[in-house]
Copies of this chain bind each other. A is one copy, B any other.
Amino acid sequence: MIGIDIGGANTKIVTDDEVIIRYCPLWKEAPIGEMLSGIEGEAAVVMSGELADCFYSKAEGIRFIVDAVLDVLPDARFYGTDGRFHTEPVPQLAAANWLASADFLKDHYPDGILLDFGSTTADIVPLSPFRELPGRTDLSRLRAGMLVYCGMLRTPVASLLQAVTIAGEETPLSTEYFAQAADAHLVLGHITPREYTVPAPDGKEATRELSLARLARSVCADTDEIGEQGAVAIAEAFWEAEKTLFRKSLERFGSKPVLAAGIGAELIHQTFGGINLNQEPGSSAEALPAYAVREVAIRDGF
């Protein structure tokens, strides 16, 4: 059994002995068949890539993704927000990846709250009562604080920060796409240049020096105009803004141990305590929905 999670920016594949994360932006040319070539057998699939804006509607996105997967894996089944597997492109397939994670984790950590911090978004899901979760759309999860739209890599810095204090001076940010989350987290030492796995806003390399320059540019400055300290202050304010969003959401669900997952699991664990699912045996917390949908398919049968 293979687990597959097709997001807008990344496709994740979990097999018996492997976890594969591929940067595969659907808004470019949607090369899903290519991504899955060489993979065979039964597959349990979740998606969130139907929201990519190459599609006119979610229905079109779901149809496209289901067709592309079935072309390569005719025995694939698709997990929906109703908690069931489907073979057809039904509306319930939109953004069910977080529910697959919860469906798998609920038996193991019934008192916990999942915080899956990915490249682009964070899913925050209280695992009980599980019966209250199914049926939720992205829109209703945004409103409920269960979909927090910020990530470790792709979030534009100017989308979370309107202004930042640099050397005591309140400084508004440019709204241009000059710097992203990966620049802030690289500068703060939360990721290495190797873990900067997405294109930089300026198309240049992932180095500390260039990330500092991108952060400085977000206040229309060269690094030497605000100093390295100024650029670091922008990175710190960005991470502070992300933590504030997480804290506010977590508070809505009461005090529960945080289950950290996603590429930012370690950072979430350091910040909020609880359990780092990356360090639990037999889990693949960096690709949790792909892992979880496979586990659910094995547990329940298709």
Contacts and interface: CB of A to CB of B under 8 A. Distances in A.
What is the oligomeric copy number? 2
Contacts of A147: 220
A226 interface: yes
Nearest to A180: B175
A296 interface: no
Interface in A118-148: 120, 137-139, 142-143, 147-148
Given A143-B172, A174-B149, A138 B220 contact: yes
B226 A139 contact: yes
> Main SS of the interface on chain A?
loop
B201 A53 contact: yes
B219 A142 contact: yes
Contact of A143 (B149, B171, B222): B171
A181 B9 CA distance: 24
Contacts of A95: 220
Nearest to A59: B222
A120 B176 CA distance: 8
Contacts of A57: 213, 222
Contacts of A162: 160
A239 B160 CA distance: 18
A158 interface: yes
A119 to B, nearest CB: 12
B53 A178 contact: yes
A160 B120 CA distance: 19
Contact of A175 (B51, B53, B160, B204): B160
A156 interface: yes
Contacts of A156: 156, 158-159, 175, 177
Nearest to A120: B176
Contact of A142 (B51, B54, B120, B172): B172
Interface of A: 8, 27, 51, 53-54, 56-59, 95, 120, 137-139, 142-143, 147-150, 155-156, 158-160, 162, 169-178, 201-204, 213-214, 217, 219-222, 225-226
Given A53-B202, A137-B221, 12 more contacts: A53-B201, A54-B203, A137-B225, A138-B220, A139-B225, A139-B226, A142-B174, A143-B170, A148-B172, A149-B173, A149-B174, A159-B159
